[in-house]
Amino acid sequence: MFPLRRNRRLRTNESIRSLVRETILTPNDFLVPLFVVEGKGIKEEIPSMPNYFRYSLDLLEKEVKELWAMGLKSVLLFVKVPDNLKDNKGTEALNSNGLMQRAIKVVKNTVPEMIVMTDVALDPYSSFGHDGVIENGIVLNDISSSILAEMALSHAKAGADFVAPSDMMDGRILEMRELLEEENFTNTGIMSYSAKYASSLYGPFRDALDSAPVDLVDIPKDKKTYQMDYHNRKEAIRETRMDIEEGADIVMVKPGIVYLDIIRDIKNMSEVPVAVYQVSGEYAMIKAAAEKGWLDHDAIMLEQTTAFKRAGADIIASYFAKDIVKLLK
């Protein structure tokens, strides 16, 4: 007796394994999240995200040049807003000379070919740490959506290539698209966080931007009335279908590693590119386990990130982008 097929033949050595490999990461797959702060000469490490930093605009320049030289061609900008500029309506988000608007210009002036995507959501600007305006304990949908559309327009005016709404209000993609068209920003794209789950993996990001929901009476303690319930799968398809109909150029699943099934579902139904966001908590878990010596940092990083592409992701937003590209060399 002998086995009918010997699958191990194609695994004999690295040469044959690389010949039959189905999924290969390249620098083109990555979108690099960047955190920006006011000030000068600042590169500060985020405590819950070891080896990840917030940059002031002068040092952002340096970082962007380095990314470009490594073959990383797109960034996703987030800003940390000083407390005294926060309010319920996120008024500062529309300031044409705000930190985000200046950051967009800095990146575009430093490396014009770099694709600049911007986070469109109220939470970094909200005194309550929510992605929309709050009234009587409720995160209002329609007024928030209108502010987000104005915010997207403001980013487009500053030079953003893509706006990336991460808020999960209903109808905001359509409102944003219509406003951009009316104002002649016909080439500004929309990457929608379409299937964004109410996850416990966003903690370190909220540390990075000081954007966690505040603990006050009458303020919702979590984002479950707008971000999706992780028990659900069909809902992700419905959200994504609607965002595509409303004009999204790219759709996204977030977080990543515990939502591989969703990435595959979305890949199968979507006629636009699918992005995944490997979020801050995923980054922190790998860092923490590696620090303890319990997991091999580079090995687990590559395994998890490759899984996103295998599951169907066309674009991977990852805090590991630089580390991975170094290893791919």
Residue ranges in contact with ligand PBG by CB under 6 A: 119, 121, 123, 131, 166-167, 202, 205-206, 223, 279-280
Catalytic, out of 86, 89, 223, 254 = 254
Q: Please tell me whether residue 218 adopts helix, strand or coil conformation.
A: coil
Q: Is 80 a catalytic residue?
A: no
Task: Confirm if 82 and 39 have CB atoms less than 8 A apart.
Answer: no
Closest to ligand PBG by CB, 123 or 246: 123
Backbone phi, psi, residue 192, to 5°? -95, 130
By beta-carbon proximity to ligand PBG, the closer residue of 61 and 207 is 207
Q: What distances in angstroms separate CA 253 from CA 56, 79, 160, 319, one per listed residue?
A: 29, 22, 21, 16
Angle at 64 between CA 211 and CA 196, to 5 degrees: 40
Shortest spacing between CB 230 and ligand PBG, in angstroms: 13
Identity of the residue, 64 or 279, whose beta carbon is nearer to ligand PBG in the bound complex: 279
Choose, from 196, 223, 309, 322, the residue flagged as catalytic: 196
CB of 286 to ligand PBG, least distance (A): 13
Give min distance, CB of 22 to ligand PBG, in A.
Answer: 28
Residue 254 annotated to the active site = yes
Q: Could you tell me the two tokens for 271? A: 């006629």
Least separation in angstroms between residue 27's CB and ligand PBG is: 20
| Residue closer to ligand PBG (CB basis): 63 or 123 | 123
| Burial of 5 (C-beta count, 10 Å sphere; 0-12/13-18/19+) | exposed
Residue 50 class from Cβ within 10 Å (0-12 exposed, 13-18 middle, 19+ buried)? Answer: middle
Dist CA 74 CA 68 (whole Å): 8
Active-site residues: which are they? 196, 254
